[in-house]
């Protein structure tokens, strides 16, 4: 099934802005576990449960979000909002996914400033982590059957997983797999087919960099905003990659944070629901209070809206070009391979005893066999973790 434009989607599936907002607010409140888990929960909501978009359309949006800077799961949310209700949906979906987490992180930052410590949440995290792995496995099972169309794509997925385990950067894995898929398609057809161009707005990227570089003043709200705007414009990958950028900017260069404050900020972003990039909300509050948290949050997510707005209208054209579609198929299968590697890495850290393994098995059964909503599974697992720890 070909990807559809925002207008086509709204014709095929009538979704009100209120309904769109409700679903993304719910996800922003319950989506624990990082980008892979967020994407898995979106697949459950929009593909399996509500049938607003197809597996192929959803996978295309994952692939596109993986190739642009910024928080991948948030950008998938923005892509879905655009496909449902155009520009209004683009803004609404992104904001509703971000705001619940940002508000929670801001409240925790205020408590941190007052008490100089984080709340004890180890028991809750103990229960949530195995359930999150089950959510990811459910999504991989459903999406993998759609993405693994050919023997070549299956092989490329396995190679992508191997490269990721070997430590190759995610963006390199995605680009290489997309290219390999295109080469395979070209050798099979031996025709010169048009490739839809995807301009990367060099002038816009230079503008963002110039704005950030111009901020050489002492501590100020403007400098805070531009620092996070720069980070949001260039960061690919996981929360650990974000940590490296934050440390270089706020600990080494600006000296606004201590190492302990930075680690605590990243920890809050990891164990709260919603995007990991809400770490910026916490740092903004530490640096400049409530105004700083609002500015930092806006700045780090703004480039994601910008990049999705530019690339969203190109997806239907990419699917209509056979060679460009082959590139996209390669990126899709590589994205799923990266999700599988994340699930494995999380599993090694989370499955530490028989109780955690039991939570994983029960959660998987509830999701795959009984089709229980993933949000309830995560809440139940958190409760079990809290009781036992």
Pick 389 or 2 by higher pLDDT. Answer: 389
CA 298 to chain centre: 17
Which segment, 12-16, 90-94, 316-320, is predicted with the most confidence on average? 90-94
The per-residue pLDDT for 5 is 42
pLDDT at 339: 79
Interatomic CA distance for residues 304 and 326, integer angstroms: 25
Average confidence (pLDDT) over 73-97: 94
pLDDT at 214: 41
Q: In this predicted structure, what is the pLDDT of residue 217?
A: 39
Residue 9 has pLDDT above 70, yes or no: no
Distance in Å from the first CA to the final CA of the chain: 47
Query: pLDDT tens digits for 69-83?
Result: 888 899 999 999 999
> Does residue 191 surpass a pLDDT of 70?
no
What would the pLDDT profile of 336-349 be if each residue is shown by its tens digit? 888 788 788 778 87
pLDDT at residue 7 in the model: 40
Given a cut of 60, whether residue 8 has pLDDT beyond it is no
pLDDT of 119 reads 65
Residue 200 confidence class, pLDDT cut points 50, 70, 90 = very low
Name the percent of the chain lying above pLDDT 90: 35
**Higher confidence at residue 241 or residue 225?**
225
**∠ CA 272-44-144, rounded to 5°:** 110
Convert the pLDDT of each residue in 234-248 to its tens digit: 776 555 567 767 888
Distance CA 247, CA 253 (A): 8
- CB environment 142-171: b (16+ within 10 A), e (fewer): bbbebbbeeebbeebbebbbebbeeeeebe
Confidence of residue 2 (pLDDT cuts 50, 70, 90): very low
């Amino acid at each position: 099934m070909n990807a559809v434009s925002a207008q086509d989607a709204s014709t095929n599936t009538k979704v009100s802005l209120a309904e769109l907002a409700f679903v993304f607010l719910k996800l922003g409140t319950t989506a624990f576990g990082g980008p892979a888990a967020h994407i898995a929960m979106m697949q459950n909501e929009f593909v399996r449960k509500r049938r607003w978009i197809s597996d192929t359309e959803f996978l295309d949006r994952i692939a596109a979000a993986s190739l642009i800077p910024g928080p991948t799961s948030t950008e998938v949310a923005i892509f879905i909002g655009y496909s449902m209700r155009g520009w209004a949906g683009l803004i609404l979906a992104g904001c509703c996914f971000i705001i619940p987490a940002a508000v929670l992180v801001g409240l925790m930052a205020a408590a941190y400033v007052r008490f100089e410590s984080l709340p004890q949440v180890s028991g809750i995290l103990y229960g949530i982590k195995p359930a999150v792995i089950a959510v990811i496995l459910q999504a991989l099972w459903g999406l993998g059957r759609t993405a693994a169309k050919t023997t070549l794509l299956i092989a490329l997925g396995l190679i992508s997983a191997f490269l990721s385990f070997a430590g190759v950067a995610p963006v390199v894995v995605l680009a290489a797999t997309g290219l390999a898929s295109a080469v395979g398609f070209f050798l099979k057809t031996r025709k010169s087919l048009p490739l839809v161009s995807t301009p990367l707005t060099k002038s816009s990227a230079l503008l963002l960099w110039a704005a950030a570089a111009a901020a050489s003043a002492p501590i100020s709200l403007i400098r805070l905003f531009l620092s996070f705007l720069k980070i949001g414009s260039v960061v690919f990958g996981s929360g650990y990659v974000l940590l490296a950028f934050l440390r270089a900017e706020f600990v080494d260069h600006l000296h606004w944070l201590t190492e302990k404050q930075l680690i605590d900020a990243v920890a809050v972003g990891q164990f709260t629901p919603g995007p990991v990039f809400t770490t910026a909300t916490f740092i903004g509050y530490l640096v400049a209070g409530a105004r700083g948290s609002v500015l930092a949050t806006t700045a780090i997510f703004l480039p994601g809206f910008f990049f999705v707005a530019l690339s969203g209208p190109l997806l239907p054209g990419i699917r209509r070009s056979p060679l460009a579609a082959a590139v996209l198929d390669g990126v899709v299968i590589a994205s799923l391979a990266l999700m599988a590697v994340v699930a494995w890495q999380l599993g090694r850290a989370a499955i530490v005893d028989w109780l955690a393994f039991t939570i994983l098995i029960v959660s998987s059964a509830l999701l795959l066999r009984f089709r229980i909503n993933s949000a309830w599974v995560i809440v139940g697992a958190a409760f079990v973790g809290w009781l036992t720890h």
